[in-house]
Structure 1
Amino acid sequence: MTPVDTLFRPDLLARYDAHGPRYTSYPTAVQFTDSFDPAHYFEAAATGGASADLSLYFHIPFCDTVCFYCGCNKVATKNRAHGRPYLDRMKRELAMQAACFDTARPVTQLHWGGGTPTFLSHDEMAELMAETAAHFNLVADERAEYSIEVDPREASPQTIALLRQLGFNRLSLGVQDFDERVQQAVNRIQPRAITEDVMRAARDNGFRSVSVDLIYGLPHQSVESFTRTLDAIIALAPDRVSVFGYAHMPSLFKMQRQIDESALPSPNVRLAILRRVIERMSDAGYVYIGMDHFALPGDELARAYEAGTLQRNFQGYSTHADCDLIGIGASSIGKVGNVYAQNARELPHYAAAIDAGQFAIRRGVRLSADDLLRRDVIMRLMCGGTLRFGDMEAAHGIAFADTFADELARLAPMADDGLIDITGNAIRVLPAGRMLVRNVASVFDRYLGQAGVATLKRFSRTI
């Protein structure tokens, strides 16, 4: 059996395909409540979390054009003047957040997402980074993991050079697909040459890591057309590649109603494309990290996977997920100690709070002891593929087999199908189960078991 065949079992993938969380957090954002008391966030900020390090996330929601597939919190506008008042509010929020933390703590991880962060002008981006440095302890380049999401259509080589000067050392480039017909169907016209220019500029300016995002399952995609995109990407040799399955949920994301559903590839074609992804990426020497992530062997993410130190946070797989995370901007989520807190999603609501000198926190959850236990279990399965009962018992003071007797019984069919191996002291995700690890982890999700059909459909499908 080839390495691809050990990972890709179409019979199992079809049988287990269902709606389920991606577990960038547990509890998931579905469990955040409007009744959350922000005082819990401030208390957690004052006492600190498990790590001395801090992580900062900035959400810049503006996009010049809107991609029909997108489910992110964004504002489509060509008026660049919208950036200035939003920047001013983020600066005020930075000051308020800094007052809650010991700002001598090092910021070892920083990320700008969107939207399109480079919607801001060069001067505005420099101003935001300078303001961040004025309030928080930004570390030297060799210790920093400072990343930014970039739309190649919005980033000239001069922009890339500026970002490196500002301290960013990682780029995440949105590509999705190079096929022109697919690009037209999703309203994202992005010639290959533009992406090549940005990647060349990133290499020339010494970025440590460049990652590329692709999406399979978009209208008009076929195995042959997506293979051409894969081969073009592999030729560019990004350090990391994420290949997400498109989640068509027009009831949740109105812009997806612009997509012609009849042009979407069938489930069988989606599976065939996914198999081709694994084949091509494996043949090119990329390490399969998990779910939809691949990395070159020398990349920090691949090294963390091999060492068993891989982690997961709201941006996906990470090497710094244990940091206290401070979210800045509309819809941003913070994770501090045992608290998740999310800012208002709508721009007017965010603006009104900041203008009134108040935090914009609108939703969140304070994790119970059971939440913390289950988060630990789920993240170990998602990131390492091995869950040792003794580790959980020592960390949480439980008898694993007694606490999770029902869950172990529900896992038995997955063991029979060869997705996992269950012994008297551990659960190990087998190669055939790695692509279905969300399904395995979800067995330990107390809230998912209580969810109705409407709630389940808020999650993407596991394949």
Structure 2
Amino acid sequence: MDQSIQFDLDLIHRYDKSGPRYTSYPTALELHEGFGEAEYLKHIEKSNAAGGPLSLYFHIPFCDTVCFYCACNKIVTKNRSHSVPYLDNLVREIEMQGDLFDGSRPVNQLHWGGGTPTFLNFEQMQRLMDATRRHFNLRSDDGGEYSIEVDPRETNDRTIAQLRELGFNRISLGLQDFDPAVQAAVNRLQSKEQTFAVLEAARAEGFRSTNIDLIYGLPLQTETSFADTLDQVLAYAPDRFSIFNYAHMPSRFKTQRQIDEADLPPPSVKLDILQMIGRKLTDAGYVYIGMDHFAKPDDLLAVAQREGKLYRNFQGYSTHSDCDLIGFGITSIGRVGDAYIQNVKELDPYAARISQGRLAVFRGVELDDDDKLRRAVITQLICHFELSFAVIEREFSIRFAHYFAPELEHLRVMQGDGLLSLDDDGVQVLPAGRLLIRNICMVFDKYLAQKQQQFSRVI
């Protein structure tokens, strides 16, 4: 499989507009409060009837300090006791949800995100994992993908050993940038020694996959400074990179108002950084998975992509398309059967619902036939850079050329621009189009016109 990318400045300038990241289709903006607990229960019943493995996501919202760039749902506090009532409610939610799902269904994927999951101490993390194991069928053979996001500033060798003992075998380290001026501008001071000590400890403890998170487009970044950060990380050769484009949206995310907009690199510099990232990582032997992700060729993401088994969910690229996803904690989003479901976003409503013995669901959406069809199309494009019309036609009993006649006209324009090749059999995204895969997917998004202003820019 050709997974190369081509950097075409003219195309990027012409196609750089706002659009979804397609961790779902329809996107989370289509979730509504007309879908609640009763509707969720119906989809759980259908899910149990269908069977299959599960994926669990736990949202731990607490952070010790605020990173100014952050757009996550988090609670910034140095008072560790604030996690105690939240953990109590989380355990009760695990019990309630566990009673609803068939206990024989194996959990093939588990992820703790946030916030900062390592805000919890070991006893709290052990309690959370023990509760999960009591109410769900966690694997005991270390064959699942059990991952956690960690902050190297508050993680050490002992923490890593404890996480491995709890059953985690994949780890993602937040970094963003090593440059001292950039770190000061975003209020995240983090040394090389802290970061690489955690990475090495994870390898020593037998974690099967290590990921480093970086962000380009932060204040005071230059191509040279970010290249230096990238070179230092490449020397330790993590299995995966997640390199995100910073989306400055202070009207939506209050913490971003503390960033001086005058310090943000101009678009031309961001494009220089992006081009440098692609060159360095591919020269170092990494495969471009898509969007912001690179991986070693033998990493499960790269293998799944080559085998046509890659999927995309609310945590990003995934190798487990067969799993229904259950979300726990505030703001978490799940996918069960043909529905997406989100929990309430704040602590007090979450605590109130759990104390009443109610699920924390406050909105969701049930996919109709057109949604499922378009989701399949977008998933194939964003995960595999190709689309077979025959596969879609067999699965959904349509004639692609008739159903998507207007969309094909848009694709023909993109073909003329060199983003893709289009024939009677399907679509192949070309190297120049892979960085712009979101634009290609947007052609098939029927909801986009009225919502586009609420998304970040593609590049």
Alpha-carbon distance in structure 2 between the residues aligned to 1:206 and 1:59: 25
* Equivalent residue, structure 1, for 2:23: 24
Paired-residue identity, %: 57
Listed as ranges, the matches of 1:12-411 within 5 Å are: 12-48=11-47, 52-411=52-411
SS in 2 for 1:231: helix
- Residue 23 of structure 1 aligns to a residue whose secondary structure is coil
Residues 120-139 of structure 1 deviation map (CA, whole Å, 9 limit, x = unaligned)? 11100011001100000001
For residue 56 of structure 2, give the secondary structure of its aligned residue in structure 1. Answer: strand
Give the counterpart letter for 1:442 in structure 2: M
Report the alpha carbon displacement of residue 51 of structure 1 after superposing the two structures with TM.
6.2
Tell me the TM-score normalized by structure 1: 0.97
Report the CA distance between 1:443 and its aligned residue.
Answer: 0.5
Residues 154-190 of structure 1, C-alpha deviations (whole Å, 9 max, x = no match): 2111001000000000001100001010000000000
Q: Which amino acid aligns with 2:301?
A: L
Runs of 4 or more consecutive aligned structure 1 residues displaced over 6 Å after TM superposition: none
SS in 1 for 2:194: helix
1:40 maps to amino acid? E
Alignment gaps of 5+ in structure 2: none
Contact 1:141 1:167 in 2 (8 A): no
Q: Is the 8 A contact 1:170 1:209 kept in 2?
A: yes
Query: Deviation string for 1:352-379 (max 9, x for gaps)?
Result: 1111111110111010111010101100
What SS does structure 2 have at the residue aligned with 1:18? coil
Pick closer, same or farther for the CA change 1:11–1:262 going to 2, 3 Å.
same
1:456 alignment partner in structure 2: 452
Give the C-alpha shift of residue 321 in structure 1: 3.1
Q: Is the 8 A contact 2:172 2:210 kept in 1?
A: yes
2:36 touches 2:361 (CA, 8 Å); kept in 1?
no
Secondary structure of the equivalent of 1:140? coil
Shift of 1:141: 3.8
Task: Give the whole-Å Cα distance in 2 for the aligned partners of 1:419 and 1:66.
Answer: 39
CA–CA separation in structure 1 for the residues paired with 2:307 and 2:334: 27
**SS of corresponding position for 2:436:** helix
Kindly provide the amino acid, as one letter, of the partner of residue 25 in structure 2: Y
Deviations 1:105-130 (A, max 9, x none): 00000000000001111100011001
CA RMSD of aligned residues (A): 1.3
CA 339–179 in structure 1, closer or farther in 2 if over 3 Å, else same = same
Give, as a single letter, the amino acid of the residue that structure 1 aligns with 2:28. Answer: A
2:52–2:322 CA contact under 8 A, matched in 1: no
In 1, the alpha carbon distance for the partners of 2:301 and 2:391 equals 23
CA contact (8 A) 1:252 1:458 kept: no
Instruction: Output the TM-score relative to the length of structure 2.
Output: 0.98
- On the 8 A contact 2:218/2:264 being kept in 1, the answer is yes
Q: 2:454 aligns to what SS in structure 1? A: coil
Deviations 1:200-239 (A, max 9, x none): 1101100000000000000000000000000011011100
CA–CA separation in structure 1 for the residues paired with 2:87 and 2:444 = 41
Which is worse superposed, 297-306 or 68-77? Answer: 297-306
Q: For the residues of structure 2 that align with 1:157 and 1:447, how far apart are their CA atoms?
A: 47
Aligned pair count?
457
Give how far 1:44 is off.
1.3
**Runs of 5+ consecutive residues of structure 1 not aligned to the other structure:** none
The one-letter amino acid of 1:427's match is V
